[in-house]
Structure 1
Amino acid sequence: MDPDSVSAVGRAVHGGSTHDLDFSANTNPERPPGVRTVYESAFESSTRYPDESYREYRTAAADYVGCRVEEVVPTAGGTEAIRLALATHVSPGDSVLVPTPSFGEYAREVRLQGATPEFVPHDQMVDSSPDGYAAAVVCTPNNPTGEVADPEALAAFAARCREEGTLLVVDEAFLDFTDADSLAGREGTVVCRSLTKLFGLPGLRMGFACATGDSYDRIETARPAWNLSTPAAAVGAHCLRQGAFVERTRERVARERERMREILAESGYEVFESDAPFLLLDVGSRSVEAVVEAMADEGIAVRDCRSFGLENHVRVAVKRREENDRLLEALARV
């Protein structure tokens, strides 16, 4: 991190609210069975420092994405994986390809390194040239638009990045909700994963990075000691082995997402196609302020997307049917 750049970089705006129903954060309202028991058991070991090898957690993560255990770096959430990837490969004066609109932490982390984010429309990133850039970032499915990057185009882009010596950082925070393959284990690519969204436990801060060769060595060396708490490591390993829960969640989200899309379109919203656990809405003739305030009056939080640079849009998460119905009824009244 470049000390001279820190004072000029602000915080990024994210979802999250204390309203009765929070549709601004894209987290699963359900959790895998047995989580509480695992957490309480791990609490008994929390009087000691965590085991720095995190072997069980790394093994579960490697099995989950299909890479080698020796390619997994445990992180306190996906954002730490993103920071470690960029901090270990980007220097002051560098330029980094960053998608737009997309997750605000990419550009912020680039600037914290004293580098310059060069913004590329998110749906054109995999067709761009990485020549001359220290790194390039792809978010798949992209946040807030929701679509998965074309697998063949992404693989070709990864190959071009490797040829040019450009690190490719792939944020797969929402890939769990799809059946698309991870890029974990690909040379020249750092994959960043989060357990926050699918497993509905953002407060435990569980994630990991997948990297090979020199990139792995750099990230593992830079990883803070004991960066994953004992309860987080135990719960994370447990969650990553819950295949039936993952499948049920994918099915529910896909079913509810399509139902919501149809009803919202009937209510006069333009709804973007999505592979993620959220939908991006153009509010049309309504104002974003009016929609956000009307929802707040109903005890519902939605994501104001002006911080993404989208002036007429809100993003809503896909929850359980009864919760989604309350959102849909409230949006129809605006």
Structure 2
Amino acid sequence: MGTATGTTITGGTRTAMRTDDTGGSGLDLRHHGDAEVRDDGAALTDLAVNVRADTPPVWLREEIAGSLSSLAAYPDGRAARAAVAARHGLPVERVLLTAGAAEAFVLLARALKVRRPVVVHPQFTEPEAALRDAGHSVDRVLLREEDGFRLDPAAVPKDADLVVIGNPTNPTSVLHPAGVVAQLARPGRVLVVDEAFMDAVPGEREALAGRTDVPGLVVLRSLTKTWGLAGLRIGYVLAPSEIIAELERAQPLWPVSTPALAAAEACVTPRALAEAGHAAHRITADRAHLVAGLAEFASRGVRVVQPAEGPFVLVGMAGAAAVRRRLRDLGYAVRRGDTFPGLGEEWVRVAVRDRGTANGFLKALSAALP
């Protein structure tokens, strides 16, 4: 794709933006956290990838392994689709299983006929990358640090017919109120809410998954984060049946493997949902410990976006690029923040881990800071 013209809206001010294959300002929209632990093969403690540690659990691995005897047959997703639909109280016609949430972004970009897509940043960059790869000119709404990276629905252009936002948002860890996000919906507009990390929020408060009263609502969910299934690729879309039908027509045949279907069915059982709920409370406690430790470095210029509600925190500091390199030398990988539109070189994202790992990281950070 060549260059295209877009718009950036920041704090109600709209300016022209030229978008190219790196996102308009030299940003690598295809950079993701896994690159931080693959660059040089070093043995690093991974705080760059937002997949829950110590997963998948044994019982889930056994469920997946049990599906391997069926590999000679083509995948049949009906049972898994019905299970996901039941989990959210929806008819199966409103559910589409995908090879991770990333596939869903590609399907949306290719299948929907939209004129003015808008992505609310900072957030996961794959939605914009997929839209641009499909030939769309993408406008950005940039949320500001001084506003706590909080959503102002009025900042989104009224004529946007596709709006994408994450909740809780990667990388800011901001959880937007469901009522505020729902204000973005209107007739003639598709509202895409990426809830890949919502199951890491106790009670999934502020979730829109399962809602049928919000016009044009499309909710994306991922099973790779909480259950450690990034290598298996499994997620799903919840949307009006007519949108699901359009996305399904754009999918290749048998897009989700038999093991991934087995995982999807297993991860929405009452047992799994209870375990995910316990994990969410554990993440909340571990995040509070990490944030409290980071607060000890406030006098050295470290700041944390709060309140953080996801399984990661966004941390700002002067000279973050150099600090990140020193942390690598000390055995810790964190996610650079400067590839997210709306952020800069002073930001890093840090995954929430257990207290022992967090303590080791905080000790390394103390040594890495100027």
Q: TM-score, normalised by structure 1?
A: 0.90
Q: Which residue of 2 aligns with 1:192?
A: 220
Q: Equivalents in 1 of 2:224, 2:83: separation in Å?
A: 16
Q: Which residue of 1 aligns with 2:74?
A: 49
Q: 2:64 aligns with which of 15, 25, 39?
A: 39
Alignment of 1:1-334 (within 5 A): 9=21, 12-16=30-34, 17-18=37-38, 19-30=43-54, 31-51=56-76, 54-91=77-114, 94-122=115-143, 123-124=150-151, 126-158=153-185, 161=186, 163=187, 165-178=188-201, 179-180=204-205, 181-186=207-212, 187-241=215-269, 242-268=272-298, 269-273=302-306, 274-284=308-318, 287-308=319-340, 309-334=343-368
Q: Equivalents in 1 of 2:314, 2:139: separation in Å?
A: 24
Task: Say if 1:23 and 1:302, in contact at 8 Å, map to a contact too.
Answer: yes
- Identity over aligned residues, as a percent? 31
Count of equivalent residues: 321
One-letter identity of the residue aligned with 1:326: G
SS in 2 for 1:111: helix
Task: Say if 2:161 and 2:190, in contact at 8 Å, map to a contact too.
Answer: yes
One-letter identity of the residue aligned with 2:198: L
Task: Say if 2:289 and 2:355, in contact at 8 Å, map to a contact too.
Answer: no
SS in 2 for 1:306: coil
Displacement of 1:213 in angstroms is 3.1
**Tell me, which stretches of 5 or more residues in structure 2 are unaligned?**
5-19, 23-28, 144-149
Q: Equivalents in 2 of 1:102, 1:157: separation in Å?
A: 16
Q: Equivalents in 2 of 1:129, 1:326: separation in Å?
A: 41
Q: Summarize deviations over 1:120-173 as a string: whole Å, max 9, x none.
A: 124335333453223111110111101111121122222xx3x2x011111111
One-letter identity of the residue aligned with 1:40: A
SS in 1 for 2:184: helix
Displacement of 1:28 in angstroms is 0.4
Q: Equivalents in 1 of 2:354, 2:171: separation in Å?
A: 20
One-letter identity of the residue aligned with 2:230: P
One-letter identity of the residue aligned with 2:128: A
Displacement of 1:321 in angstroms is 2.1
Task: Say if 1:300 and 1:327, in contact at 8 Å, map to a contact too.
Answer: yes
Q: Equivalents in 2 of 1:323, 1:202: separation in Å?
A: 21
Q: Equivalents in 2 of 1:42, 1:106: separation in Å?
A: 31
Q: Equivalents in 2 of 1:49, 1:5: separation in Å?
A: 41
Displacement of 1:25 in angstroms is 0.7
Displacement of 1:96 in angstroms is 1.1
Q: 1:236 to 1:183 in 2, by over 3 A?
A: closer
**Tell me, which stretches of 5 or more residues in structure 1 are unaligned?**
none
Q: TM-score, normalised by structure 2?
A: 0.81
Task: Say if 1:282 and 1:313, in contact at 8 Å, map to a contact too.
Answer: yes
Q: Mean alpha-carbon deviation: is it higher for 291-300 or for 176-185?
A: 176-185
Displacement of 1:32 in angstroms is 3.5
Q: Equivalents in 2 of 1:213, 1:236: separation in Å?
A: 20
Displacement of 1:47 in angstroms is 2.0
Q: Equivalents in 1 of 2:156, 2:166: separation in Å?
A: 17
Displacement of 1:66 in angstroms is 3.6
Displacement of 1:193 in angstroms is 1.0
One-letter identity of the residue aligned with 1:133: A
Q: 1:261 to 1:238 in 2, by over 3 A?
A: same
User: Which structure shows the higher helix fraction?
Assistant: 1
Q: What CA RMSD, in Å, does the superposition of the two structures yield over aligned residues?
A: 2.0
One-letter identity of the residue aligned with 2:91: R
Task: Say if 1:278 and 1:317, in contact at 8 Å, map to a contact too.
Answer: yes
Task: Say if 1:72 and 1:210, in contact at 8 Å, map to a contact too.
Answer: yes
Q: Summarize deviations over 1:100-125 as a string: whole Å, max 9, x none.
A: 21111122112122211111124335
Q: 1:326 to 1:63 in 2, by over 3 A?
A: farther
Task: Say if 1:184 and 1:210, in contact at 8 Å, map to a contact too.
Answer: yes
